[in-house]
Structure 1
Amino acid sequence: MSSGGHSNVGFPSLYESQNQKHYKQSEVEELQKHTGENLKGFLPKDQEAEVNRLRSQDVQRRQAENLKNDPTFAATLHGNKPHKGAIIDKEIQQEEAEQLRKKGDAMTGKSM
């Protein structure tokens, strides 16, 4: 007997893509507004894959920005405690940002 390429062994969730999701049309339209890409030109199946791709790009972009701005982000992203040097770097960045903000406030106060 031929099974026709379908298996009843194991759990179906192991073989199905866990990152695929059916999106409401309103979600697709909202993402289209923010990214500026035409998502309505895709077939429904391809449209969901494109939405997933755009969302993963957004997540990667945010992580890259956080890695630039926060030395402790990489460790906390992976569930680890940040290294002492990274914590000190973060404190120094915060102090410098505060000093620059105060300096900027003082400069704008003088020019007025």
Structure 2
Amino acid sequence: MSGTSNVGGPGVYEAGDQRNYKDSELDTVSRFHEGKPNSHLANDSKDERTIANKLAREEQRAREPEQKDIEQERYERDATLPARAHGNEPSKGAKIDQELREEEEDYLARKGKK
């Protein structure tokens, strides 16, 4: 026989991705940091992370300063920005919010708070 079968050619039987890797070939990265970001939800009852990994993450979170997105900071300063960014006229409520915010900033600036 020539090594072929009714199931398929010899390529079917090659090791390919079924190969067992040696420990020296594997990365020594911490298992906690593998996977996609935000793939584990902190409050998910079905999440199978160990208690030690959950505690380690909470310790990291306590040490990290909270970072705000640049867009979020701009939206907090200008209530009409989201509508104008999409080429629309801001709503009446957004305009009023922006006016109130500007008046409040002026008032605090006059009092010397800012």
Normalised by the length of structure 1, the TM-score is 0.38
